[in-house]
Structure formats: C-alpha cells, structure tokens
Amino acid sequence: MSEEHLTITDDRTGKSYKLPIEEGTVRAMDLRQIKTNEHDFGLMTYDPALMNTASTKSAITFIDGDKGILEYRGFPVEQLAERSNFLEVAYLILFGEMPNEEQSTAWTYDITHHTFVHENIKTLMQAFRYDAHPMGMFISTVAALSTFYPEAKQVSDADNRLAQIKRLIAKVPTIAAYTFRHNRGLRYVYPDNDLSYTGNFLNMMFKMTETKYKPNPALEHALDVLFILHADHEQNCSTNAMRAIGSSCADPYSAMAGAAAALYGPLHGGANEEVLKMLSRIDDKRNIPEFIQRVKNGEGKLMGFGHRVYKNYDPRARIIKRVADEVFEMTGRNRLLDIALELERIALEDEYFISRKLYPNVDFYSGIIYQAMGLPVTMFPVMFAIPRTVGWLAQWQEMITDPEQKITRPRQIFVGQPRRELPKKKD
C-alpha cells in the first residue's frame, strides 16, 4: 500500500477520495471512481500531446531535462560515448547490463551475420523512383521485411523476438545504404562482415572500385559516437508510436515502420534536415540578427533548438559539438558550422530564448557532421533511424513483457454533433 496519498474533494457531490501517489504520479484509472451518479462514466484526464502523462514504467533511459542528464540503464551517455562502442551500448540498452568480453564477441558476431538482405528486397528497392526520398524508401522497406519473416508475428515468444531484434539491428544499415546508392544511381554494395558496424556502413555507402574498402578510422569512430547518442531517448514521439503499434501485437517490422514514419516529421528526427536548410538560407553570419528577429516575430522557428524535455543544454549536443571538431579536422571546416556556432552564441544571449529555456538539441550539430561526411540532407533522418532502431526494439520488448500493458487506446472528449436524424429519402 502506498504511503503517500492525494485527497480529492468533488465539489459536485461533496464526496472525498483518497488516491495513492506512487513515484510522483496518480493512476488516471483511479479517477474513474469519481462519479456524480451511477450512470456517470467517471472522471477522466484530458492531456492532448500527453504533456503530463506517464504512459509506462520503463527501466531503460533516464532523462533529467532540467539538469541536462541522459543515462542508458544508469550509465551517463558521456561515459558511454567515451568508453564503449555502439554495439555494446545496443546490448546494454536491450539487456540491461554491459556485455562481458564473451557476450560482446557473440553479440557482434550475431549482428554482423545478419547484415545481408534477401535479394528480393533489393529488387523491391530498385522499383523506387531515382529521386525517391530515402526515408520513404527506408520506412517502406522495413515494413516489407515483415513479409519475409512471417514468424515475427509470434511476439510473445522470447526467442523469436530476439531473432527479429538481431535481424533489424543488422539490416537497417544495409537498407539505409541502399537508399543512398539508389538516389545516386550507383550499384548497391553488399555488407563486408570483416568491418565494424559503422565501418561496414561506410563501406556500403561509399565503396567504389576498390576491392576492399578501408573506412577512415576517425569517421568510423565519429559515426559510432553519433549512433550511441541517438540510440534511445525514452518516450519520444517515435518510441511512443512503436509502443502504440506494438501494443496491438503487430510484428516488430510493421511497428518499426510506423515508428520510423513518426521520426520522419520535421518536429522530431526530420529537424536536422531543417537545420541544414535553415543554415544554408541564412548563408552568412551577418544575416543572423535579422533571422533571429524573424523567429522572435513568430515567422518561423530556430530549428535544432528547444525540446519537450530538456530545459537545459541537451547533453548530446555538447558531445556532438566535440565530434564535429574531430570530423572537421579530417574533412576540412564546413562554413555552416561557423554560422551555427554564431547562431547558438547569439540565441543563448537573447532574452526570448533564455526565458523559454530554448537550447540547442541533438539535431543542431548532427546535420553539419553528416554533410561533412558527404551525405545529402535527405539522408539525415535515416541516419537517426539506424541507431534508434535499438531504442525502439528495447522499448517494444519492454512493453510486450510488461504485464500492465494492454492495447493502447486513449479516450476522447467528444465535441461533435449530438445525435440527429438523417431525413428519409423520398421514393
């Protein structure tokens, strides 16, 4: 029995109710008992955009938005970015602990040996128009995978789930790279299982005539860090979509296609694409004050700024800024980085942004790095989807195994027409 309570008095009836408080929350279903009469449905909460609703208990990712803290399974993301690699972090997020050496070797082997996709997937992707948006191709192809693995429907079978989890984590870089090659009119490059997760991804993206592609170690590492930073972010829009779709027991490929679709939007994972467009439009540091003024006048947003949860510097943005320096040492400095740095400096001194607690988020700098690596802006949301696959799957698995979870089905306040009669048709 909970120690803390909330006592509510319903002024309509004069009745009082004592609701338990657990972990700073009251259960919305506890409000249902609050009725004016026996025919009353009971009190509900109204929370558009789920601004103040915990939809689940989760043990995966912790965020303190005010302090700018992000932890996976208790480990600060800064330490993970410095002392581990993406596949180890994927293991941690999925299984709760860092892998030991033996587990790490087996896990890496398993992921590496599922990187190939069926040749029919290739044919399917070749059917897209030459200029199809990579994210549209990515979403469709992930959904199509469900037709190749019909057994994935058995979502209550733990071994079966794990098989699909490994397949998805292994195959998303292959699909992502194929979308890029498709846009370029280049032949698709098969995975090279001698390379690391990110090294192989670079191989599938950029290999040309060489017999063996050698990834640049600095870029391989930078990408690995970026993937770690994007691996999970608790109940964000796309993860919520993954859980909601998965709650109907849809297979993980179908659920993940929905999650990726949610990520595509410019207010979520599509924001890094918008940041690049914005920086290109600003074009020169001298145009920044005028641009900021337009944002303050409500004529657009400063893309890559602001976050529903972080009301402080996004910790990921801080690490990404460092990665940017490493990448630019390799690729040469990107002009847009200077505009971004100046934009950040001016915005962080401006009362409009200070009072609203608007700070750079993960998308503010990631796009500039991707561009320096030779990626077009249309690939940016795909670059987000690859590592987020891990978070989506871990959250999906947690939802499936949570005895409290049921099919997601919110209520509504109906504000439409009351019942009325449709006139009878004349004979």
In the complex with ligand ACO, the residue whose CB is nearer, 125 or 241, is 241
Least Å from the CB of residue 8 to ligand ACO: 28
Active-site residue, selected from the candidate residues 30, 64, 110, 268: 268
Report in angstroms how near the CB of residue 277 gets to ligand ACO at its nearest.
12
Tokens of 276: 């690049």
- Return the axis-axis angle of helices 158-184 and 380-400, rounded to nearest 10°: 170
Shortest spacing between CB 71 and ligand ACO, in angstroms: 17
Our answer to whether residue 307 is catalytic in this structure is yes
Q: Distance between CA 71 and CA 88 in Å, rounded?
A: 15
Task: Compare residues 106 and 267 and give the one whose CB is closer to ligand ACO.
Answer: 267
Q: What one-letter code names the amino acid at 270?
A: G
**With contact defined as beta carbons under 8 Å apart, do 90 and 389 qualify?**
no
Known catalytic membership, residue 314: no
Angle made by CA atoms 212, 218, 220, in degrees to the nearest 5 = 55
Between 107 and 359, name the residue whose CB sits nearer to ligand ACO: 359
User: Smallest gap, in angstroms, from Cβ of residue 265 to ligand ACO?
Assistant: 9
What are the distances in angstroms from CA 125 to CA 103, 142, 182, 253? 34, 11, 8, 16
Degrees to nearest 5, angle at CA 272 with 278 and 173: 145
Q: Which of 221, 233, 307, 314 is catalytic?
A: 307
Q: Which is nearest to 219 in space by CA: 375, 351, 360, 355?
A: 375
How far apart are CB 80 and ligand ACO at their closest, in Å?
18
User: Of these residues, 224, 232, 251, 363, which one is catalytic?
Assistant: 363
Alpha helices (runs of H) in 96-196, residue ranges in sequence order: 101-112, 119-126, 134-148, 158-184
Secondary structure in 3-state letters for 346-357: HHHCCHHHHHCC
CA atoms within 13 A on the CB side of 346: 18
Report phi then psi at 6, rounded to 5. -120, 125
Distance CA 80, CA 225 (A): 9
Q: How far apart are CA 71 and CA 232, in angstroms?
A: 10
Residue sitting closest to ligand ACO (CB)? 306
Choose between 201 and 291: whose C-beta lies nearer to ligand ACO. 291
User: Which CB, 112 or 238, lies closer to ligand ACO?
Assistant: 238
Structure tokens at 75: 């480990």
User: CB-wise, 258 or 306, nearer to ligand ACO?
Assistant: 306
Q: How far is the CB of 385 from ligand ACO (least distance, A)?
A: 11
Shorter beta-carbon distance to ligand ACO: residue 8 or 341: 341
Nearer to ligand ACO, 125 or 263 (CB): 263
CB-based contacts of 392, cutoff 8 Å, min separation 6: 238, 239, 242, 255, 256, 259
Which residues bind to ligand ACO, rule: CB under 6 A?
267-269, 271, 295, 301-308, 356, 358, 361-363
C-alpha 257/C-alpha 144 separation (Å) is 9
**DSSP H helical ranges for 42-85:** 77-83
Establish whether 268 is a catalytic residue: yes
Q: Give catalytic residue positions.
A: 268, 307, 363
